[in-house]
């Protein structure tokens, strides 16, 4: 005998559709996040979410099959954790940026701005021919973008592999930083942990903290980025380049 469900306890329509399309365990995401995820389905960006790629303090990253609005076979979904209070430490990357004056200080507002900011930064970088994932769509705390990898498998990060052409890769990373700077942005947190290597080519990811050149700490962030990447290549591959020369090259 079928059990009758009271009208008061009927599942929310958006929640139900998401759970039907992707059999996620109840309680993994809050209702608002599930509604944001639903938008990537209704906009034809994603047809199915397959599995988690990585889990982080600030965001979880999922692999999804592309919808009819995306040419590629796969899409990456980056879903920011709306309960993560560590985003308060990231406020300096938002409030000092002239593009985001007047942002509220509560966590959900910061994360919403962060997601929109990463999408916008990726658009700017892509138009400047910087090697970054193609951004497809964002809504709330959900960002959809291109998978950098093959056959549904993400490319490895620079930190995790040895490369045969380290000097060429370093030069390409510096060139990407130069193109980004010429487009009016500084990455702000570049390192061997947010560079993917595909077919020997470095792709820069995690660009949400990127700031415009109008940010009061833009030059400080640029110098820190260059220091980080030069230190890594010097320590692992013995490549020695002078800090100020590289900064001048990027700004030239």
Give just the sign of the alpha carbon dihedral 6, 12, 18, 21: positive
Residue 125's domain comprises 27-150
In a domain, 10, yes or no: no
Q: What is the pLDDT of residues 84-103, one digit of tens each?
A: 656 566 666 667 677 766 66
Residues 69 and 174 in one domain: no
Residues 177 and 109 in one domain: no
Query: For all residues of the chain together, what is the average pLDDT?
Result: 86
Residues forming the active site: 189, 206
In a domain, 229, yes or no: yes
DSSP state of 64: E
Identify the domain boundary among 150, 170, 204.
150
In a domain, 41, yes or no: yes
Q: What is the pTM of this model?
A: 0.85
CATH of the domain at 81: 3.30.200.20
Residues 139 and 172 in one domain: no
Residues 93 and 170 in one domain: no
Q: What is the pLDDT of residues 195-225, one digit of tens each?
A: 999 999 999 999 998 999 999 999 999 999 9
In a domain, 8, yes or no: no
């Amino acid at each position: 005998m079928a059990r009758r469900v009271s009208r008061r306890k009927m599942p929310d329509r958006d929640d139900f559709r998401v759970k039907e399309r992707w059999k996620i365990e109840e309680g993994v995401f809050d209702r608002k996040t599930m509604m944001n995820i639903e938008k990537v389905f209704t906009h034809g960006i994603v047809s199915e979410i397959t599995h988690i790629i990585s889990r982080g303090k600030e965001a979880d990253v999922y692999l999804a099959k592309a919808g009819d609005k995306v040419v590629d076979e796969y899409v990456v979904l980056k879903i920011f954790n709306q309960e993560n209070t560590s985003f308060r430490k990231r406020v300096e990357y938002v409030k000092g940026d002239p593009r985001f004056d007047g942002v509220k200080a509560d966590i959900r507002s910061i994360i919403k701005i962060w997601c929109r900011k990463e999408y916008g930064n990726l658009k700017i970088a892509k138009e400047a021919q910087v090697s970054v994932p193609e951004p497809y769509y964002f809504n709330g705390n959900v960002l959809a973008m291109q998978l950098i990898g093959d056959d549904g498998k993400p490319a490895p990060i620079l930190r995790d592999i040895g490369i045969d052409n380290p000097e060429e890769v370093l030069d390409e990373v510096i060139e990407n930083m130069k193109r980004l700077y010429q487009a009016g942005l500084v990455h702000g947190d570049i390192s061997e942990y947010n560079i993917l290597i595909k077919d020997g080519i470095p792709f820069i990811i995690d660009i949400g903290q990127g700031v415009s050149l109008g940010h009061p700490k833009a030059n400080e962030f640029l110098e820190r980025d260059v220091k980080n990447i030069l230190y890594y290549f010097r320590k692992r591959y013995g490549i020695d380049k002078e800090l100020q020369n590289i900064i001048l090259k990027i700004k030239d």
